């Protein structure tokens, strides 16, 4: 969040680009917290036969990493465009 709002990396980009870049990492952190909560609940006692909960936890992890990679790609693209 701070990298997107306090540095000039997205300064030359449009408002929508900056808005998306600003909220990608906080959204990833929220998904990480949800994944952790599900893992804590699943490992508190053995909970087998709950495929939807396991799938939800795995989906949260997948989306978290997708958002992090998306943020890194947006930063790289913005930095490359800044040099032009």
pTM: 0.84
Count CA within 13 A, CB hemisphere, residue 30: 7
Q: Rounded distance, CA 21 to CA 74, Å? A: 7
Q: Rounded distance, CA 1 to CA 21, Å? A: 8
Contact 3, 9 (CB under 8 A): yes
Q: Rounded distance, CA 47 to CA 23, Å? A: 34
The first and second tokens of residue 33, run together, are: 């917290």
One digit per residue, the tens of pLDDT, for the chain of length 84 reads 777 777 777 877 888 888 898 899 999 999 999 999 999 998 888 888 889 999 999 999 999 999 999 999 998 888 887 765
């Amino acid at each position: 969040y701070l990298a997107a709002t306090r540095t000039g990396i997205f300064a030359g980009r449009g408002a929508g680009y900056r808005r998306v870049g600003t909220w990608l990492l906080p959204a990833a952190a929220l998904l990480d917290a949800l994944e952790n909560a599900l893992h804590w609940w699943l490992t508190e006692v053995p909970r087998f036969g709950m495929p939807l909960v396991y799938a939800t936890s795995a989906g949260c992890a997948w989306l978290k990493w997708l958002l992090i990679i998306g943020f890194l790609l947006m930063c790289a693209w913005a930095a490359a465009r800044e040099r032009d």
